[in-house]
Amino acid sequence: MKENRLQRLLDQAEQHNSALVAVNVSNVETIKAALHAAESTQTALILQVAPLQLDFQGIDYDEFVELVSVLARRHNVDYALHLDHAEEVEHCLRAIDAGFDSVMFDGSKQSYDQNLQGTKAVCYAAHRKQVLVEAELGRVLGNEAGSDEPSLDDVYTDPQLAKAFVEETQVDLLAVAIGNAHGFHVGPPKLDFERLNQIRLSISRPIVLHGGTGIPVDDIRQSIALGVRKINYFTELDSTFMNAIKQEAKENPSALMIQSFAKAQRALSDDIIAKMTYCSSAILGKATTPLASTSSNAYQPHVTASAQTEEVIA
Ligand SMILES: [Zn+2]
């Protein structure tokens, strides 16, 4: 039976009471930036891609698995590959067949029953191939939400419903809505830690926090202490990359594409390092999953953790 890389990393995170940083990647630059960050901090990570990102890039599931594995070859990095926010069962099945370690079926915009049935179908296919499944219960609002926002009681994850959902679907990880949101926030989000604690007590599963952008470091730490084992970062990392390109274009209008992309890659790597530093050191003050050894020809990081570490993630 093949080993599931994510399961191993989640077991380690649980042991150390820390969380894995999940970074959305979609092309050579973003994959390399994430690998560099993981290698230079000796910290495991989750590389994830959403079907929408694959569509934009014109890359299919098989190609993406190969691309990541080719680029990871020269790096001494412990990672797992995850499909993020798949709203169609079909997309999950394609990722399972292609060799992803885990898939997220996002039925959070559907009815509870549709979410349950979709998650069940994905779990059935995934578990036969030792692939893990993440589902979302409640709704993480933000960029993807419609204009008429529902009331908080309708969108926050209900601990009792979470228990029933996990038992019925046998889903492996659960993404929760406890005040977190996708995208940039007007002010710091107010997380409902009491609810998070109740969810943790109701389900014996690793909890996933989407919308890491904008959550203050102390709140991230408290979430980890209350059972969050995977934290998704997208918006802030995406804007770090884009801002570096814009900056280069402003300062050096004749810059070549490869020059501005190299700068963006370094900026992104730096930002991921900062996030890994506080997510993985939340309790123990050391890396989540230190690697056994570093090969002699390992990548020499050209970036170092920035002073952002202790600041609020804006
Ligand atoms: Zn998300």
Q: What is the pTM of this model?
A: 0.87
The per-residue pLDDT for 112 is: 95
What is the Å distance from ligand 1's center to 255 Cα?
34
The per-residue pLDDT for 109 is: 93
Catalytic residue among 11, 60, 62, 84: 84
What is the Å distance from ligand 1's center to 103 Cα?
12
Is-catalytic flag, 271? no
What is the Å distance from ligand 1's center to 185 Cα?
14
Structural domains in the chain, sorted by start: 5-289+302-310 (3.20.20.70)
What is the Å distance from ligand 1's center to 159 Cα?
20
Buried b or exposed e, range 136-146, using 16+ CB within 10 angstroms? bbbbbbbeebe
What is the Å distance from ligand 1's center to 211 Cα?
6
DSSP codes, 14-37? HHHT--EEEEE--SHHHHHHHHHH
What is the Å distance from ligand 1's center to 183 Cα?
9
By the CB criterion, residues less than 5 angstroms from ion ligand 1 are: 210
The per-residue pLDDT for 182 is: 84
What is the Å distance from ligand 1's center to 182 Cα?
6
The per-residue pLDDT for 249 is: 94
Residue 124's identity, in one-letter code, is Y
The per-residue pLDDT for 284 is: 38
Q: How many CB atoms lie within 10 A of CB 286?
A: 12
Host H or E run for residue 268: helix 257-280
What is the Å distance from ligand 1's center to 296 Cα?
37
Alpha-carbon distance of 289 to 46, in angstroms, equals 12
Residuewise pLDDT in 10s, the chain (314 residues) = 678 999 999 999 999 999 999 999 999 999 999 999 999 999 999 999 999 999 999 999 999 999 999 999 999 999 999 999 999 999 999 999 999 999 999 999 999 999 999 999 999 999 999 999 999 998 777 765 444 555 666 689 999 999 999 999 999 999 999 998 888 776 778 899 999 999 999 999 999 999 988 899 999 999 999 999 999 999 999 999 999 999 999 999 999 999 999 999 999 999 999 999 888 764 333 444 443 333 333 333 333 333 333 333 33
Question: What pLDDT digit, counting tens, does each position of 271-305 carry?
Answer: 999 999 888 764 333 444 443 333 333 333 333 33
Q: What is the largest CA-CA distance in the chain?
A: 59
Task: Using the structure block, give the residue that is written with the tokens 């692939």.
Answer: 131
